[in-house]
Chains A and B, each alone.
Chain A
Amino acid sequence: MQTLCNVVLNRRMRVRCRPILAARVFVCALLLCLGSVHSWAQQNDQQQMRGLDEQVQEIKSDVLSIAQELNRLEERLLYPSGSQVAIFIALAKGDQMRLDAVRVQIDGQLVAHHIYSFKELEALRKGGVQRIYVGNVATGDHQLEVLVDGKLEGGADFSRTERFTFRKEVKPKPLGLTLAGPNSGNTPIALGEWQ
């Protein structure tokens, strides 16, 4: 590309008048000179940027490790396994329902109410699973009520409520809720128990 620009400049110079030609030669020389200084500076900058990039990678690694330890601490302190319950939301594979909001109640208490952004909905559609709630319940049987609001492919509103009973044992209890539109042939709100 550099040679190409020179050719272009040369062609322009050939058809210009003499005073401008003289000035242009000077300007070109100046630009070339500046260009080389600039590219040297650029190389130097590039090296420094790469050096910094290495350090940024190191600190990212350290902060990730802090985050993991902090997570373990948080889990131990706030959600011990004896009482931990976690609720996950997934969309049925290939379902085109536009999920707007999900509300979750445990034993009549509202524990989660989430309104979905476009990005979150796309992440769910691609197969991601959202942890909508993590909290504590006593061992024994509990009532779970899930309310889903959304829009169907045709634009019609869709709302569904389901109630489930789950049993909390001594180990942590993950509950997976799979949501689907009513025309998909799947159960609109299905509760799956996970290990």
Chain B
Amino acid sequence: MRTPRRLIAIGVSLALAAGSATGSDLKDLYFGEALYHAWQGHYFDALQRLDTEVAMYRGLDQPELDTLHFHINDAEFSVGDFELNYRMHHRAGRAIKAVLEGAVDEAVRNEAAFRLARIHFQKGQLDDALTALARIKGTVPVEISDDIEFLRANVYMATGRPSEAVKVLAQLRSDESLAGFVAYNLGIALLQDGRPQEAIEQLDKAGRLTTADPAGLAIRDKSNLVLGTILFESGNFERAKQSLDLVRLEGAFSNQALLRAGWAEASAKQYDRALVPWNILAEREPTDVAVQEAMLAVPHAYASLNLHGRAAITYGRALELFSNQIKRIDASIGSVREGRFLKALIREETRQDEGWVISLRNLPDAPETYYLMELMASHDFQTALHNYLDLEELRSKLITWKTSLDAFEDVIRLRAENYEPLLPQVDAQFRKLDSRIRVRLEQRKHLSERLKSILTAPRPEFLATAEERNAAERIAFIEKQLGDSDNPGTVALRQRAARLRGALTWRLETEYHERLTAAHVHLNELKAPVDALNLQYEAFVRERQSATHSYVGYDVQISRLRERVSDGLQRVDSLMARQGHMIESVAINQLQARRERLVAQQTEARYGIADSYDRAERAQSGVEER
């Protein structure tokens, strides 16, 4: 029952891809950037960016002020999705569990539980998948409600509970994207549940669904193929043939359908009619198992029709084909052993499109891939191939980073060479300027305080000009010189000095308000240049700091990174070698198995030729005797 599980997984992943976080009303550019990479299939880059963003968001004191806050649920899910797409199931599971255990609303929690169940299902952890599904309660997002039930049914089927799967699938009314999968799986569940008649009816329905979607067409073909096979097994050859005839001639299941359609005819002793599908099949890609089978089936039909000459000729063709294919496989095994298969895999153009596994067939210098299509279709082998490619990608990243670290060290060295001779002079000059600036700022501050104080306690002398201050000081000096003498000349001089002081005081007192206003205006006029000075000062301090920061304090980080990169590179190299060896040995095993099958068929063809000649001869002598 692995096939239905695989088909189901495809259905689910397509549905999710369509519904994952999109940039509608995007508020966070960096989240949008992660999506941009993910939509192109660059999951490493997407993960690297989004992981950093989410980690930064989690470290904020007030995360609700950050723009990621608007998308945090989507972002957390997307991390899980990206990890899943990057085949990091362990981390994907952890990311989704974190959502599940966080303070989120019911719909979000249910979606997380569904995603977790899907991961467990894909990893074959069926009990865990059921546990996760059991956590879904209450409000379920409409867009995934069908997917949940579909997954539930599949887990039931995979755990050997087909009757429960039948109950779930029978109630599921899904849209067109899932309809074919639901109908097919229901048929299989009924079959597993020991209800063959209902299974036949259900598969018949699944095989007649109207669809234009390629996945829907493929599952319809599969339904008809399985139904045809079941009917064939039960001896209902005519109906089996009708179902097999519904399989499209150009689809992935057409070769098997043609082969079985021929057997359905042959079993009903209609050898001439069996030749029609088999002859079509015999003209197809000779590496296909069904085609190779048909190469023996065609002469068998001729022999059954007593056309022994034709049988001998077609057995001869089959023998030639098998011999050629054995040579081809031998060449392929040699090619794999020489490492050409792995080299072909990592070529850049191989991975340009999503169907790169299929396009491997077209590589002129990788003949082995013709015989590995079946193997390549298996989930484990595909994972191994993808892992090999991922490792190659990681390797090239690590090598680039090694170079980047060298470049960073160069940048740091050049900056140090540039700044180190300059900075002491700059610092010395700055210290001088800094003390002058401080003095002036202190003066301004003092003046400002004075002005503030005389607002409440008027002190006109504080607003005297320098000339007036000098005059006041001279008057005070003269008065001191004159002393307290009663000498008339001295008294006259003292009176003159008093008049002068009075005149000065008069001026200061009468002009006080005017002068106070002017002083405020002048002080305020200083504000703009002082602000500019402060800004320039701060800018200088920043630049000065950034000059130091541009080359100081990186040594530890760079050497740690260099160590991590080297260590990573070593591990990647070692893993790549093991993964590559594994891929090659599995491929060689597969090729050898196919070779052995071809050798057996070759033997059969040889017997067939001999037998046909023998029968033709006997038939001929029978005619002559008569």
Interface residues of A (CB under 8 A from B): 3-4, 7-8, 11-12, 15-17, 19-20, 23-24, 27, 30-31, 34, 38, 41-42, 45-46, 48-50, 52-57, 59-64, 66-74, 76-78, 80, 82-83, 86, 88, 90, 93, 119-120, 122-124, 126-131, 139, 170, 174, 176, 194-195
Contacts and interface: CB of A to CB of B under 8 A. Distances in A.
28 contacts: A19-B611, A20-B604, A20-B611, A27-B603, A31-B600, A45-B585, A46-B380, A49-B582, A52-B578, A56-B579, A57-B89, A61-B88, A63-B568, A64-B44, A66-B565, A68-B52, A73-B557, A74-B404, A74-B408, A76-B549, A77-B411, A82-B546, A119-B39, A119-B40, A123-B39, A127-B24, A129-B23, A176-B29
A123 B91 contact: no
B33 A88 contact: yes
A60 B600 contact: no
Interface stretch (B202-210, B212-220, B259-267, B508-516): B259-267
B300 interface: yes
Contact of B398 (A42, A49, A63): A63
B542 A62 contact: no
A73 B555 CA distance: 11
B600 A59 contact: no
Given A11-B263, A20-B608, A66 B582 contact: no
B611 A139 contact: no
B401 A70 contact: yes
Given A27-B604, A38-B589, 5 more contacts: A17-B303, A55-B575, A77-B408, A80-B550, A195-B67
B48 interface: yes
Nearest to A81: B546
Which 5 residue pairs across A and B have the least CB separation, nearest first?
Answer: A127-B23, A128-B36, A129-B32, A123-B39, A127-B22
Contact of B267 (A11, A52, A66): A11
A130 B33 contact: yes
Query: What is the predominant secondary structure among interface residues of chain B facing chain A?
Result: helix
Interface stretch (B96-104, B384-392, B489-497): B384-392
A17 B299 CA distance: 13
Given A68-B52, A129-B29, A4 B233 contact: yes
Given A16-B300, A49-B380, A128 B263 contact: no
Interface centre among A45, A86, A124 (most CB of B within 10 A): A45
B383 interface: yes
Contacts of A24: 604
Contact of A128 (B23, B397, B578): B23
A70 B52 CA distance: 11
Contacts of A41: 589
Interface string B396-436: 01100100100010011000000000000000000000000
B294 to A, nearest CB: 12
Contacts of B611: 17, 19-20
A126 B33 contact: no
Interface in B36-87: 36-41, 44, 47-48, 51-52, 55, 66-67, 86-87
B51 A64 contact: yes
A34 B596 contact: yes
Interface size class of B (residues with CB under 8 A): 35 or more
Contacts, number: 214
Contacts of B610: 19
B554 interface: yes
A88 B589 CA distance: 51
B203 to A, nearest CB: 14
Given A17-B615, A70-B401, A126-B23, A59 B67 contact: no
Nearest to B384: A49
A62 to B, nearest CB: 6
Contacts of A53: 87, 383-384, 387
Contact of A56 (B304, B390, B597): B390
A72 B59 CA distance: 15
A64 B54 CA distance: 14
Interface in B580-605: 582, 585-586, 589, 593, 596-597, 600, 603-604
B51 A122 contact: no
A104 B537 CA distance: 33
